[in-house]
Amino acid sequence: MRIGIIGTGNMADALGGRWAAAGHRVLFGGRSPERARALADRTGQSAGTLRDAAGFGDAVLLALPYDAVAGVLAALGADGGSAARPGARRLHPCRRPRLPAHHRHGTGAARTIADATGARVVKAFNHLPDAVWRRLPPAFAEGPVAVPLCGDDPAALERVATLVRDLGCVPLPVGGLDRAAYLEATTAFLIGLWHSGHDPRSLLPPFEAVTAPDRG
Provide the binding-site residues for ligand NAP, judged by CB under 6 A: 7-12, 30-32, 35, 63-66, 68, 71-72, 94-96, 126, 129-130
Answer whether 89's CB lies under 8 Å from 119's CB: yes
Alpha carbon 197 to its chain centroid, in Å, reads 25
Nearer to ligand NAP, 196 or 211 (CB): 196
- Closest contact distance (angstroms) between CB of 203 and ligand NAP is 20
Asked whether the beta carbons of 94 and 13 are under 8 A apart, the reply is no
> What is the spatial distance between Cα 110 and Cα 70, in angstroms, rounded to a whole number?
12
Nearer of residues 117 and 126 to ligand NAP, judged by Cβ: 126
Q: Between 1 and 38, whose beta carbon lies closer to ligand NAP?
A: 38
Spatial distance between the Cα atoms of 175 and 37, rounded to a whole number of angstroms = 37
User: Smallest gap, in angstroms, from Cβ of residue 100 to ligand NAP?
Assistant: 12
Q: Whose Cβ is closer to ligand NAP: residue 94's or residue 156's?
A: 94
Please give the Cα distance from 62 to 12 (Å, whole number). Answer: 9
Q: DSSP class of residue 9?
A: S
Cβ 211 to ligand NAP shortest distance, Å: 31
Q: Of the two residues 11 and 183, which places its CB atom closer to ligand NAP in the complex?
A: 11
Q: Which is nearer to ligand NAP, 63 or 150 (CB)?
A: 63
Q: Least distance in Å: CB of 212 to ligand NAP?
A: 35
SS3 sequence, 104-169? Answer: HCCCCHHHHHHHHHCCCCEECCCCCCHHHHCCCCCEECCEECEEEEEECCHHHHHHHHHHHHCCCC
On whether the CB atoms of residues 87 and 118 are closer than 8 A, the answer is: yes
d(Cα 113, Cα 170) in Å, to the nearest integer?
25
Determine the residue with CB nearest ligand NAP. Answer: 9
Q: At closest approach, how far in Å is the CB of 91 from ligand NAP?
A: 12
Give the nearest distance from C-beta 64 to ligand NAP in angstroms: 4
